[in-house]
Structure 1
Amino acid sequence: MIRLAKLSVFAFFAGVCAAASAGDSGHLTADQMAKAARTDSFSIPTPGELFAALGKPGKTNWSGQYRGPIPVTYRNRAQIALNLGGLIADGFIAVEAKDGQQVKNIGADIIKLAKALGVSEKLLGRGSSINEFAEHNEWDTLQEELEATQNEVKSAMQSHADQDLVILVTLGGWIRGTQVVTAAIVKDYSENNARVLRQPALVHLMQSKINEISPELRGEPLVKGVSEQLGEIEKLVSFPPTKAPTVDEVRKINQAVSKMMTEIESKDLPK
């Protein structure tokens, strides 16, 4: 039953994140991730794919990667979208930790932020059902409800006219996912896992995606700051393909993305 629950909830969060991405990129191993980072065009990996690239299931202390609750009363739409992506990554963490209560908590926050971006009332009703089924451990019913939710989330996001926000949701998920992955590698360092972080083409792709959004949104201080910091992160993940970053170099990447997450979460937007 635990495995069924994990797969079901994973489908829910995967549906949200996949809908925000340019397309489905499949399940990436550490080697596939490294190869993908050397190409010029590919889909941005979901947080779940980043976590899967770590390998060795059961070894990572996923519950140790939880963060405290974030505000869900943001008014800036760009900030809402970035934080929605981060919450989706948190959902993947809860699934990996097999933590039903955490899944329920994060799911509720995702629904709140998604509602602020104009998600349908029907989808909000499904979110309430997910909480109810998780509360009573009705895993079989939860699986059916989450599969339906996944399809509805995809439909809602694909029909959304604001592609700018879709880009920011995807970016927020990658930033939070990378924060978690780098923290896990620092805690249990191995060269093989550290090689996953060589992603200069991926970071460059995200910068190019930011350049595609509207000038008005791109000029907002938060979005502008994230874009500028991606330039610094690109340098940090541009180590030679034959060399794994040291634990200190991984720590620097973690510090850089953690700084971005702090700014994204903050209720005090940069001026």
Structure 2
Amino acid sequence: MSLPCRLLCLIWLSSFAVLSIRAQALGESPQIPEELLADDHLREEMGVNGFTAPSIRKIFDDLKRLRPLPYDELKRPLPEQPPQDRTKLSLIMGLLLADGFFAVEAEQFFDLEPIGRSLLNHGKILGSGTRVSSHMKSMLEKGAVGQWDALKEELFQTQKDVENEMVLIRDVDAANLISLGGWLRALEIGCAASLNPYDPAKAALLTKPEIIEYFVLNLETLEPRLQKNQLLGRIRTRLLEMQKAVDLPEGQVLSEQEVTQLGSMVEELVDQIGGNGRLLKTTQDIRGPKPTKPATVTAPAATGGVISGEVPQ
């Protein structure tokens, strides 16, 4: 994108922000110009890419390949009130998004409404989420009659609205933290599914070191005030440990004990973010000694979803 075009888009976005505030004051729903939303360079600058707004279809593809999903074991209580801290608020929104995908893939209809309500409450405080609220009624209606494929299609249609909201809030840090929270929750689900029982083919879908590196670099580029945040500091330290743990020779995947240890590290981070543990605790020993040899299988190709996504260039 040329500099003049980039400046024009930024001026356009600034002008639109003023119009949006005015429209909201009048009770109207502001419309983002489609030409602006379609600009890949600007969307990348505003924090919208394959990680901050991952394809819902690809997320479902990953979860489908991890069936059966241990839903009861991994279900977590929803937060009672949104936190005032914007950093934690963004991370929790990511957890809730992943919980929503999890509930749909596990066909747990009665959990959809409370998850959606909590997500909207958090999103309104963050300054996002209002655009997807119109889809909620339709999704609940489809889930009530067991139309899960139609429900997934409805979620696919919300993808554009999610990305539009990312552009509208103009908050790259929040977008990246939402993505990080969602990825951590999805990875926790993936680890548990791979141990239910242990399946090397499922373990190969969990993660790649370059994906963790992507999130580490994102944390290092946050504004200085956020880089001093203690929770983000602990997350970064643990991510570096996780990156070493999954950095295996090509063609090898994590062994059962390595998946168990990875799951333990991820669960700890999700606990620190959400403040609530699982409703049912796993009976597996998640803190055993580190194995000397990882299992060797041919790793399946990445699907591009939250769990095994491809790093944006």
**Cα distance in 2 between the residues matched to 1:44 and 1:231:** 23
Query: Match for 1:72: what amino acid?
Result: Q
How far apart are the structure 2 equivalents of 1:182 and 1:134?
29
- Counterpart contact for 1:51–1:181, Cα < 8 Å: no
**Alpha-carbon offset, residue 232 of structure 1:** 0.9
**How many percent of aligned residue pairs carry the same amino acid?**
24
The answer to whether the aligner puts 1:185 opposite 2:211 as a matched pair is no
Residue identity matched to 1:165: A
The CA deviation string for residues 160-192 of structure 1, in whole angstroms up to 9 with x for no partner, is 121100000000001000001001111221112
Does structure 2 retain, via aligned residues, the 8 Å contact 1:87–1:106? yes
- Equivalent residue for 1:72, pick from 76, 81, 89: 81
Distance 2:127 2:63 in 1: 35
The 5 Å alignment of 1:184-263 reads 184-263=193-272
Deviates more, 1:210-219 or 1:138-147: 138-147
Distance 2:242 2:67 in 1: 29
Matched, 1:171 2:197: no
Deviation at 1:145? 7.0
State the one-letter code of the partner of 2:117: A
Bigger radius of gyration, 1 or 2?
A: 2
RMSD (Å) for aligned C-alpha atoms: 3.4
Give runs of aligned pairs for residues 6-17 of structure 1, distance below 5 A.
Answer: none
Deviation at 1:143, TM superposition (A): 8.1
Q: Which structure: greater helix fraction?
A: 1
1:45–1:78 CA distance, 2 compared to 1 (3 A): same
Letter in 2 for 1:115: K
TM-score, scaled to structure 1: 0.72
Please give the secondary structure, in 2, of the residue aligned with 1:244.
coil
8 Å Cα contact 2:208-2:246 kept in structure 1:
yes
Q: Give the aligned partner of residue 133 of structure 1.
A: 141
Residues 91-110 of structure 1 mapped to structure 2, 5 A cutoff: 91-110=100-119
Counterpart CA distance in 1 for 2:271 and 2:253 is 27
Q: Which runs of 5+ in 2 are unaligned?
A: 1-42, 277-313
Query: What amino acid is aligned across from residue 264 of structure 1 in structure 2?
Result: I
Cα–Cα, structure 1 residues 97 and 145, in superposed 2: closer, same or farther, change >3 Å?
Answer: closer
CA contact (8 A) 2:184 2:270 kept: yes
SS of alignment partner, residue 79 of structure 1: helix
Distance 1:242 1:110, change over 3 A: same
Q: Distance in 1 between matches of 2:152 and 2:243?
A: 39
Aligned equivalents of 1:245 and 1:144: distance in 2? 33
